[in-house]
Amino acid sequence: MKRYGNLYPQIIDFENILLASRQAQKGKRFRDNVLDFNYHLETELIRLQEHLKDKTYQPGAYRTFHLINPKSRLISAAPYRDRVVHHALCNVIVPIFERTFIADSYANRIGFGTHRALKKFTHFVRNSRYILQCDIRKYFPTIDHITLKELIRRKIKCLDTLWLIDAIIDNSNEQETVIDYFPGDDLLTPVTRRRGLPIGNLTSQFFANIYLNGFDHFIKEQLNISKYVRYVDDFALFSNDREFLADARFAIEEYLAQLRLKIHPVKSQLFETKIGATFLGFRVFSDRIRVRNSNLHQARRRLKRLKTDYAQGKIELKEVTQSIKSWVAHLEHGDTWQLRKQIFTSLCFRRK
C-alpha cells in the first residue's frame, strides 16, 4: 500500500490557507466571528500560517449544544480559525483517501450525498426480497482514537501532517459516555482508551469515512455483497437469500468489534423489503416513497419558527426562501406532490 509523504508544505501554503478560509465561511459570512476574522484577513492568515509552520498551533475550545430532533446529539462547533485549518488539511489529504473509498459510501463526498444514496437504496429495495439494515450504536462518540490514527498512518507517512492530524484528534472534546467491552479488554479499558469525535467538524466527517473504509471493502470483497449502501453509520445489505443476510450479520458484528464498534441491537433488523424500509428521512416502498412522519413534524416546526423569526425581523426573506427551497428540493425525491401543495398553498410570511 502506497504511503504519502511531504504533504505539509502543501497544507500550510498561503494559497491553500486562503482557499480554506473561503470554504470555511460559506453560508456563514455575516456571523460575528467570521466578520472579525475577515476584518484583518491577511494578518490572521499569515499568523495562522506561522503557527502551523513552527508547530505552535493549538486548537481552541469547542462551543457545544444539544440537538433533540430527530434524536439527542451533542453538536460541537470549533472556533472559526480552527475550521480554516480543517479545510486546509482536508484540501490536501481527502484526495489521497477518496480514491480508496468504494462507490457505495455516500456521506460527505463531492458528487455523492443523500439524494444519490436514496436513489440507490430505492433501486435495491425494489429489486430485492430481503434487507439487512443496520445502525452503528453511538458511532461518533465511540470512534477509537488509537485505531483511527493507525488507519490514517496506513496512507500518510508525512510526520508534520500526522502531527497536525493528531493535534485535531487529541483536542476532541468529551463526548457522550458509552461503556462497551470487547475481547481482550480488562475492567478499565473502556475508560482509559480515548474515544469520540465532535460531530460538526469537517475533519470528523472525513475521519468517520476513513474509519469504516476497511469495513466497506470487507462487505464488498469478503462477504461478496453486491447490493450495499452506507451513509455515515447507517448501512443496508440486500439479497433474495434470507439466510445469506443472517450469516452476514454475524460476520459484520465480528468485524466491527475489531474497530471497537457495535451495531444497534434494536435498529439493526433483517426483514422483507415489501413492508417498506426507512432511510434518510424517507419510507421507501415498492411503489412509492413517503416522508417519515417524524421528519414531517420536524419540518413543520421549522417552518413555524421561520415565520416567527421573519415576522420579528430576525431574518430576511432571502434566508426564508433559501431554507424553503432546500426543503422542497429534498421533498421532491419522494412522492410528495400533494403534501407540498397542502403545506405551501397556505404558507404566508408577514412582518409585524
- If one compares 194 and 174, the residue with the highest pLDDT of the two is 194
The kind and range of the H/E element at 153 are helix 145-153
Residues 341, 270 share a domain: no
CB atoms within 10 A of CB 48: 22
Q: Which of 282, 305, 334 delimits the end of a domain?
A: 282
Least confident range of 24-38, 73-87, 98-112, 298-312:
298-312
Asked, for residue 134, whether it belongs to a domain, the answer is yes
Q: How far is CA 157 from the centre of its chain?
A: 25
Asked, for residue 212, whether it belongs to a domain, the answer is yes
- Name beta bridge partners: 195: 144
- Determine the Cα–Cα distance for residues 333 and 268; give it in Å rounded to an integer: 25
Asked, for residue 81, whether it belongs to a domain, the answer is yes
Asked, for residue 2, whether it belongs to a domain, the answer is no
* Confidence class for position 321, pLDDT limits 50, 70, 90: confident
Measured CA distances, 351 to 93, 220, 242, 304, 333 (Å): 47, 55, 57, 14, 32
**pLDDT for residue 295 is more than 70:** no
Report how many domains make up the chain.
2
For position 235, what pLDDT does the model report?
Answer: 98
Residues 333, 242 share a domain: no
pTM for the whole structure: 0.85
Question: C-alpha grid cell for residue 319?
Answer: 434566508
Question: C-alpha grid cell for residue 318?
Answer: 432571502
Residues 244, 144 share a domain: yes
Asked, for residue 155, whether it belongs to a domain, the answer is yes
Residues 270, 295 share a domain: no
CA angle 319, 324, 327 (to 5 degrees): 130
Q: Which of 282, 308, 327 delimits the end of a domain?
A: 282
Residues 263, 333 share a domain: no
For position 297, what pLDDT does the model report?
Answer: 65
**pLDDT for residue 49 is more than 90:** yes
- Determine the Cα–Cα distance for residues 245 and 227; give it in Å rounded to an integer: 11
Residues 72, 166 share a domain: yes
Nearest Cα residue to 67 out of 178, 160, 199: 199
Task: Examine residue 198 and say whether the peptide bond preceding it is cis (omega within 30 degrees of 0).
Answer: no
Residues 202, 339 share a domain: no
Residues 320, 274 share a domain: no
Q: Please tell me the chain's helix, strand, coil percentages from 3-state DSSP, rounded to the nearest 5.
A: 50, 15, 35
For position 309, what pLDDT does the model report?
Answer: 74
Residues 261, 160 share a domain: yes
Least confident range of 2-6, 157-161, 172-176, 219-223:
172-176
For position 116, what pLDDT does the model report?
Answer: 94
CB atoms within 10 A of CB 67: 11
Tens digits of per-residue pLDDT, 64-113?
877 765 566 778 888 999 999 999 999 999 999 999 999 999 999 999 99
For position 255, what pLDDT does the model report?
Answer: 98
Q: Which domain holds residue 207?
A: 7-282
Residues 27, 145 share a domain: yes
